[in-house]
Amino acid sequence: MEFRKEELTVKAYPTRQEMGIKAAKDVAACIHNLLQEKDEINMIFAAAPSQNEFLEALIADTTIEWNRINAFHMDEYIGLKEDAPQGFGNFLKEKLFARVPFKSMTYINGQADVADEECNRYSALLKKYPVDIVCLGIGENGHIAFNDPHVADFNDPVLVKVVSLDNKCRMQQVHDGCFKDLSEVPEQAFTLTIPALTSAPHMYCIVPATTKAQAVYNTINGAITEECPASILRKKNGAVLYLDADSASLLKLKEKVFA
């Protein structure tokens, strides 16, 4: 099933696997189109188990010219050990960055000694390499990147900042199996801000699972407000939201038929 809510296109599929395959197909088509116009493009990727099926399908597409793509990641915990498997940069390295030949790969340094300097460094790179495509998810609290409701700002004046994570966001990491319990989850992180993400002409948001159903409902049917940061996607021309039957389960779809 496919429909629009304001500027946002929503596509729902029966299974998580099909959702990932369809999203990857659309992203690959966008890459091909952009590389007909530009020598290289810049992409930002989310790091989360919700992205697994999408990333696997994207890697399987042998037509993508990875050597013309500069890759970035969108958020990172502060204070984890450099080799911690929960680190978002490490996740992306394992799932994507080490598996295809990107032109370049740029990581946020979660072990940086001076947080403000790291924010400035990464912000300068984002200005030097303006983003073309963002591949993201939505958190259980409606966040995009680590812009939780209490720190989200649709008009944020900066591109990268340090944020405190709310407990719902931190518990999501436990639900996802990344940490054993809440006490292990870092309390702070670096994140790209909402304007940094929405500056991209193309945004592909992949959101499976029942645990995201309420956030999806709020994104589509609630007010456009920082209380549900993902709701800003409804004002973004070029944004597409991909759902599976579980994440779409609270939507009152007119027809129980999926795209």
Closest CA to 142 of 23, 72, 223: 223
Task: Enumerate the β-bridge partners of residue 141.
Answer: none
The pLDDT, as a whole number, for residue 218 is 98
pLDDT per residue as tens digits for the range 102-140: 999 999 999 999 999 999 999 999 999 999 999 999 999
* Residue 66 within a domain: yes
* Residue 109 within a domain: yes
Spatial contact of 135 and 97, defined as CB atoms under 8 Å apart: no
* Residue 256 within a domain: no
pLDDT per residue as tens digits for the range 204-254: 999 999 999 999 999 999 999 999 999 999 999 999 999 999 999 999 764
Predicted structure pTM score: 0.94
Closest CA to 119 of 188, 187, 69: 188
Spatial contact of 129 and 27, defined as CB atoms under 8 Å apart: no
Domain extent for 109: 2-244
**CATH number, domain with residue 145:** 3.40.50.1360
Distance, CA of 259 to CA of 249 (rounded, Å): 15
Section 48-52 average pLDDT: 94
Mean pLDDT of all residues belonging to the chain: 94
Distance, CA of 200 to CA of 218 (rounded, Å): 23
The pLDDT, as a whole number, for residue 6 is 97
Examine the pLDDT at 256 and tell me if it is beyond 60. Answer: no
The pLDDT, as a whole number, for residue 84 is 87
Radius of gyration of the chain (CA): 17
CB neighbourhood size of 84 (10 A): 16
124's tokens: 């300068």
Domains in the chain, number: 1
The pLDDT, as a whole number, for residue 179 is 80
* Residue 250 within a domain: no
Given the structure tokens 């518990």, which residue do they identify? Answer: 171
Query: What SS3 class is residue 238?
Result: coil
pLDDT per residue as tens digits for the range 147-169: 999 999 999 999 999 998 887 77
